[in-house]
């Protein structure tokens, strides 16, 4: 079998690339070992796929080379993808500012991509394993469970390592290493935190409680809701900060973002000196959390009127609520991570065509590269943009 372009990976980036290459007149084959195309798309955004973010800009991506993503993101913008889904009659909603989700189901996005591949004449072969990728004359040769396939260009779109049960493998990294490319260390990103035993027990009792929060680690801060789980901490702010967190470091949680607890308590002491601190906490936090605070910290302290609190004692509470320092034990790892930090270094890759600079027959797109977006639809926008740029250049 001979194809102009063989794409490895029928995920977001791979299908997008295949359709574009097909429209450009190339004979295209997409190979995937999974039994379904776009499995991660199907499970994304709680089954409704946050398929783009209207605020997409390079600042929302992590990479050793922060400039690498600029060209592709500039050329294929969120409006382009929105226009594509509209062409296919997909209804969508803006659930949070800039974050677009399918109104109905993520299946719609897979339908769009598969239809595009069909219209462009790109073939998709599922349940196909690939055991070897090598150079063959001017092109590439793949040894697969379908037999030997010769290709002018091989595009690696195998994604990251998260959720191995959905078909994630490190095959793309193996191919990169085989051809002498650097693969930067990988770690789970956008992943819930686990806590050490004492905190885990306390927090588990709050499982399901969500609070506004501002979470910071090193120089980075995210103001979004957080969620207590039976294993630790999750919710948008925690997932976001997990991408910059390194094992052993602490995170700082502000449970009343935008409000100085020290000032608010001083004001309350002056206005309502007889009020108990426990009453004050109960007015500001969900009942279960306010009760938990009373269990975490000595009861006697809370059951006295605010008038009896010294400034120092109020400051202790301000510290607990505005600057709660916590050292996560770890993260839930690849099992639940949404993305992979690190991956194939972009240094040897063209940011315009995604070809390996000294081996243009080989290309890498999507999450397998060392480009990772923040939470909110940025990762799919990267998949679309890199897929389009590469597909058009194949």
Q: Residues in the site for ligand FDA, rule: CB under 6 A?
A: 8-14, 31-34, 39-40, 43-45, 49-50, 130, 157-159, 162-163, 167-169, 171, 338-339, 366-368, 377-380, 383
Contact 304, 169 (CB under 8 A): no
CB of 99 to ligand FDA, least distance (A): 8
Pick the closer one to ligand FDA by CB: 42 or 70. Answer: 42
Which strand (E) or helix (H) includes residue 346? none
Pick the closer one to ligand FDA by CB: 285 or 384. Answer: 384
Residue 124 CA, chain-centre distance (Å), reads 26
Pick the closer one to ligand FDA by CB: 317 or 384. Answer: 384
Pick the closer one to ligand FDA by CB: 159 or 232. Answer: 159
CB of 260 to ligand FDA, least distance (A): 34
3-state per-residue secondary structure call for 231-299: CEEECHHHHHHHCCCCCCCCEEEECCCCCCHHHHHHHHHHHCCCCEHHHHHHHHCCHHHHHHHHHHCCH
Residues 6 or more apart whose CB falls under 8 angstroms from that of 355 comprise: 153, 349, 361, 362, 363, 390, 393
Sign of the dihedral through C-alpha 99, 102, 106, 108? negative
CB of 199 to ligand FDA, least distance (A): 25
Degrees to nearest 5, angle at CA 35 with 165 and 383:
75
Pick the closer one to ligand FDA by CB: 228 or 378. Answer: 378
CB of 16 to ligand FDA, least distance (A): 8
**Residue of closest CB approach to ligand FDA:** 11
Pick the closer one to ligand FDA by CB: 110 or 314. Answer: 110
CB of 385 to ligand FDA, least distance (A): 11
Residues 6 or more apart whose CB falls under 8 angstroms from that of 287 comprise: none
CB of 126 to ligand FDA, least distance (A): 9
């Amino acid at each position: 079998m001979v194809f102009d372009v063989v794409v490895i990976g029928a995920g977001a980036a791979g299908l997008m690339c295949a359709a574009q290459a097909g429209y450009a007149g190339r004979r295209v084959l997409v190979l995937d070992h999974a039994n379904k195309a776009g499995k991660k798309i199907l499970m994304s955004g709680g089954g409704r796929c946050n398929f783009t973010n209207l605020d997409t800009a390079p600042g929302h991506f992590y990479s050793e080379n922060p400039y690498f993503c600029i060209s592709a993101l500039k050329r294929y913008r969120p409006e382009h993808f929105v226009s594509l889904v509209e062409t296919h009659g997909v209804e969508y909603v803006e659930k949070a500012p800039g974050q677009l989700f399918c109104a109905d189901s993520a299946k719609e996005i897979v339908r769009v991509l598969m239809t595009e591949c069909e219209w462009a004449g790109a073939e998709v072969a599922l349940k196909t394993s690939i055991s070897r990728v090598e150079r063959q004359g001017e092109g590439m040769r793949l040894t697969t469970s379908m037999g030997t396939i010769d290709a002018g260009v091989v595009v690696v779109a195998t994604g990251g390592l998260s959720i191995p049960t959905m078909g994630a493998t490190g095959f793309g990294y193996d191919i990169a290493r085989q051809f002498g490319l650097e693969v930067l260390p990988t770690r789970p990103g956008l992943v819930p935190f686990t806590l050490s035993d004492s905190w885990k027990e306390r927090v588990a009792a709050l499982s399901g409680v969500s609070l506004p929060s501002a979470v910071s680690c090193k120089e980075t801060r995210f103001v979004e809701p957080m969620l207590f789980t039976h294993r630790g901490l999750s919710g948008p702010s925690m997932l976001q900060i997990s991408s910059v967190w390194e094992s052993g470091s602490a995170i700082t949680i502000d449970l009343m973002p935008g409000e100085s607890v020290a000032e608010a308590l001083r004001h309350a002491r002056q206005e309502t000196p007889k009020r108990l601190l426990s009453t004050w906490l109960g007015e500001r936090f969900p009942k279960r959390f306010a009760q938990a605070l009373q269990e975490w910290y000595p009861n006697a302290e809370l059951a006295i009127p605010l008038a009896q609190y010294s400034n120092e004692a109020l400051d202790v509470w301000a510290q607990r609520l505005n600057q709660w320092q916590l050292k996560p034990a770890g993260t839930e790892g690849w099992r639940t991570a949404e993305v992979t930090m690190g991956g194939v270094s972009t240094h040897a890759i063209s940011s315009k065509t995604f070809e390996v600079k000294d081996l243009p027959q080989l290309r890498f797109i999507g999450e397998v590269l060392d480009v990772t977006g923040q939470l909110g639809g940025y990762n799919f926008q990267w998949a679309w943009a890199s897929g389009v740029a590469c597909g058009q250049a194949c």
